[in-house]
Amino acid sequence: MEPEVYTQVKYSIHKILGINLEHYKDEQMRRRLDSWLARTGAPNWADYFKRLRTDTNELSRFRDYLTINVSAFFRDIDRWQVLREKIAPEVLTTSLAAHPGQRGLRVWSAGCSIGAEPYTLAILLEETTHYRHHTILATDLDRSALSKARRGGPYTAEEIQGLTVVQRNTYLEPDGPPFFIRPELAKKIEFREHNLLSDPFPTGLDLIVCRNVVIYFTAEAKAMLYRKFQQALRPGGVLFVGATEIIPHPLEIGLQNYQVSFYKKTNT
């Protein structure tokens, strides 16, 4: 795709879908768009955008394609073990000491995709602090992914392979595949549509989980999001990022290295 064509395509996508591709890495996004256009059979982008204005099903398919969804329960299990054994207990102790009337953690799964991540959080917290009442907010831009998350599935065998046999028996409906989350776990999570690049962030959070989402954004967009995550956390709160994600110069924005993949908000 030529640069001038990409500029026009970005403008049209923003106008029609409300998705601003300026914050995404150009080369990666251009490859995805070229692949999509070839898949649709449309001769050019002008014809395809005419189709989008009248075909709501196609509009929904295109929107889903632009919002990348790769997720699984307990993805990068070693990082979740660190959260289970060290991070969560310490954050809970700090939060309850500062807010004695609070019954549990205030948690946000940002870019939750199909729901595997917030359900993983709910399972982990249920297993370690089942007597606490945690508040778990899960958000994403992709309406189709959110719909699946709210329904608690269906999930494939590959998506749930990180669950132990005990966890499957405890938190999944007995019939499968495909697999569905039991309602008693699903009701612990509030799912909401949210655009990380334009919508206001929640505040007063103890833990934010945003993994393998910002890797698709430009350096400028990443820096902006990390600052906003820091502002959304309480002092002592923790940001949990993807295994390959590193925040450059975290102290400059009020975060400090805590563990690999974890950053804690400083008390200043």
Instruction: Give tens-digit pLDDT for 236-256.
Output: 999 999 888 899 999 999 999
Phi, psi of 45 (to 5 degrees): -70, -35
Residue matched to tokens 């649709």: 40
Which residue is it, tokens 């940002």? 110
**Domains in the chain, ordered, with CATH?**
3-66 (no CATH), 77-265 (3.40.50.150)
127-156 mean pLDDT: 91
Helix (H) or strand (E) holding 18: none
What does the pLDDT read at residue 180? 97
Beta bridge partners of 209: 109, 240
Chain mean pLDDT for the chain: 91
Band of pLDDT at residue 69, cut at 50, 70 and 90? low
What does the DSSP 8-state code read for residue 86?
Answer: I
In this prediction, residues 123-140 reach a mean pLDDT of 92
Distance from C-alpha of 146 to C-alpha of 112, rounded to nearest angstrom: 8
Q: Are 260 and 238 in contact (CB under 8 A)?
A: no
pLDDT of residue 268: 58
Over residues 159-182, mean pLDDT: 93
- Per-residue pLDDT tens digits for 1-45: 788 888 999 889 888 888 888 877 788 888 889 988 988 889 999
Q: Which residues contact 201 (CB under 8 A, 6 or more apart)?
A: 228, 229, 231, 232
pTM: 0.81
* Strand pairing class (106-110; 205-210): parallel
> How far is the C-alpha of 71 from the C-alpha of 117, rounded, in Å?
7
**Contact at 8 Å (CB) between 191 and 138?**
yes
Phi/psi at 155 (5° precision)? -115, 145
